[in-house]
Amino acid sequence: MNRFIGQWALGFAMLAVFTGFPQKSRAATCPLPLNRAGLCASITWDAAPSASRTNSFTLRFWDPVAGSEAGPYAAPAQEPFVRLWMTSMGHGSRPVVMSRARDASGAILPGVYRVEKVVFTMRGDWDVQVQLRNGAQVVDQAVLSLDL
């Protein structure tokens, strides 16, 4: 009986490998991978993004080995930067306002940022580019694509 269950378990494991289950799982646990920096990032919108108003979201970074989307979070070694870009039109939008998030006592939360004044100036396909920069150099970048 145990041997029978073991064979089925092995079969399911092989099926999961061939159907790409691990990748889907990684996408779910690391929505915005920053491989060069060895970090993951996620965006949590305050309300569903829209081209009809100003939007805002919380941006979180974590080390996928030591943490998860639920924490603990890790501050990147480079400067994080968010740029809105409309690929089909070849232009961006107004700069967003980015600040370190704080807890109820006012202490800075490492690896957590508030991003406000997120304005998509027209409907269409937009990219939210999450960058880690050293001045002019983009060290790493992950993109969240939206169809607004």
Partner 1 sequence: MSSSPIKKTGTLLLVLWIALAALPRPTQAGACCGGGLTSASLITGDEQARFGLSVAARTVVADALSSGALSPRSTGSISESQTLAALEGSLILADRFQIGARLEGSAQTLAIPGEESSTPPAVGLGDIRLNSAFEFLPEWSYSSWKPRGYIWAGVLLPTGRSIHETLDPAEALGEGFLTPSAGVLFVKRWQQWDATASVELRSSLGRSFEQDLGAGFVSRSDFGPQFGWNGLLALGYSPGAGKLRLGARLEPQWRGERTVDVDGIGSQTASRRITALGADITWMLPGTTAITAAFTDQSAFGLSGLSSNAALSRTLAVLLSHRLDR
Contacts (CB under 8 A) with partner 1, residues 73-112: 79, 81, 83, 85, 87-95
Identify the bridge partners of residue 109 per DSSP, sorted by sequence position.
Answer: none
The beta strand positions in the chain, using DSSP E, are 32-34, 39-45, 54-62, 79-86, 91-92, 97-102, 108-119, 125-134, 137-147
Helix (H) or strand (E) holding 104: none
Of 43, 101, 112, 37, which is closest to residue 74 (Cα–Cα)?
A: 112
The alpha carbon of 87 is separated from its chain's Cα centroid by a whole number of angstroms, namely 19
- Nearest distance from residue 147's CB to partner 1, in Å? 9
Is residue 146 part of the contact set for partner 1 (CB under 8 A)? no
Is residue 33 part of the contact set for partner 1 (CB under 8 A)? no
Is residue 46 part of the contact set for partner 1 (CB under 8 A)? no
Is residue 35 part of the contact set for partner 1 (CB under 8 A)? no
Is residue 141 part of the contact set for partner 1 (CB under 8 A)? yes
Q: How open is the CA angle 96-102-107, to the nearest 5 degrees?
A: 140
The alpha carbon of 82 is separated from its chain's Cα centroid by a whole number of angstroms, namely 11
- Judged by beta carbon, residue 10 or residue 119, the one nearer partner 1 is 119
- Judged by beta carbon, residue 40 or residue 84, the one nearer partner 1 is 84
- Judged by beta carbon, residue 67 or residue 124, the one nearer partner 1 is 124
Residues making contact with partner 1 (CB under 8 A): 51-54, 79, 81, 83, 85, 87-95, 117, 119, 121-125, 131, 133, 135-138, 141
